[in-house]
Amino acid sequence: MNREAKSESLKEQFPCGRVCDDQAREAKLIQASLVPTRGLSHECVEIAFRFIPFSDVAGDFADFFRLPDGFIGIYLGDVVGKGLPAAMYGALVMGTLRGIHKTGTDTAHVLGLLNERLVQRPIRGRFCSTLYALFDPDTRELIFSNAGMPRPLLISGTTCQTLGEGGFPSGMFPGATYERHVVQLSPGDCVLFATDGLHELRNREGVEFWTAQMENVWAQCQCKSATESVDFVFDRQLAFSDGSAPDDDITAIVLKVLD
């Protein structure tokens, strides 16, 4: 059978639409296996999570886990672009981060090493914002470094404030360095980590959810659990958008310090 005949035979056996649909379903299943399937509970902290892809697969990624030294690690990120190419790059970043976890607990070092590894094997037009955090259950200290992600939002007592500073996205510039931020948390404190899909969500009038309502919404989560808090935030953003479809992936992690 010559090449043209073989090509036609394959088209008849595997129509393009079916192949694409099968690949999309497979990609969605693979991505689902890379993100948390449930929250995390510890004697002094609760973590909840929400992940809403813009399409079948997302350029957002996230995870949280216990480390051998007793710390709890958290990371989340947002790849430039959308769809399958962004999801594949996100999987690359997650795999790289999971390998780096074993090298130590300094968050600035982790993001610096991630950046260098991504820069060494560049993919044209691809980079990502990344935040890596550690929570110490013994001291209730939150330690984090930020490579271009929106700043975390803390509600503590009657105070609502953003934490830390940003930094260059991962995989963009060689030699990038990152700040290490340390925040002393107290029982009842709640921290929201989110990708810019939540920050930049707009209603039909073009007003951003984060600018218009987020601090007020988050302040109401002071007495809620982590799960209740993330549900409340997403219920409110849904009401705010009033049926206006999001134009980006939305990912959020909530850390609640227990009494």
CATH number of the domain that residue 232 is part of: 3.60.40.10
Query: Does the pLDDT of residue 242 top 60, yes or no?
Result: yes
Residue 2 is predicted with a pLDDT of: 47
Residue 14 is predicted with a pLDDT of: 41
Query: Does the pLDDT of residue 136 top 60, yes or no?
Result: yes
Which range is most confident: 82-86, 113-117, 235-239?
113-117
Q: Are both 55 and 4 inside the same structural domain?
A: no
Query: Does the pLDDT of residue 149 top 50, yes or no?
Result: yes
Q: Are both 86 and 18 inside the same structural domain?
A: no
Residue 34 is predicted with a pLDDT of: 65
Give Rg (Cα) of the chain. Answer: 20
Mean pLDDT value across the chain: 84
Domain extent for 145: 36-257
Residue closest to 61 by CA, chosen among 97, 100, 25, 26: 97
Q: How many domains does the chain have?
A: 2
Q: Are both 20 and 92 inside the same structural domain?
A: no
Residue 185 is predicted with a pLDDT of: 97
Query: Does the pLDDT of residue 88 top 60, yes or no?
Result: yes
Residue 103 is predicted with a pLDDT of: 59
Q: Are both 139 and 253 inside the same structural domain?
A: yes
**9 vs 133, more confident:** 133
**144 vs 25, more confident:** 144
Query: Does the pLDDT of residue 6 top 80, yes or no?
Result: no
Which range is most confident: 29-33, 40-44, 45-49, 84-88?
45-49
Q: Are both 40 and 23 inside the same structural domain?
A: no
Q: Are both 11 and 72 inside the same structural domain?
A: no
| For residues 1-16, average pLDDT | 45
Q: Are both 69 and 163 inside the same structural domain?
A: yes
Q: Are both 41 and 30 inside the same structural domain?
A: no
Q: Are both 43 and 113 inside the same structural domain?
A: yes
Rounded to 5°, the CA angle 185-188-193 comes to: 65
| C-alpha to C-alpha distances, 154 to 3, 134, 184, 196, 248, nearest whole angstrom | 62, 15, 11, 16, 24
Q: Are both 75 and 2 inside the same structural domain?
A: no
CA 52 from centroid of its chain's CA atoms: 10
Q: Are both 13 and 128 inside the same structural domain?
A: no
Residue 121 is predicted with a pLDDT of: 84
Q: Are both 89 and 21 inside the same structural domain?
A: no
Residue 178 is predicted with a pLDDT of: 96
Q: Give the Cα separation of 146 and 77 in Å (integer).
A: 10
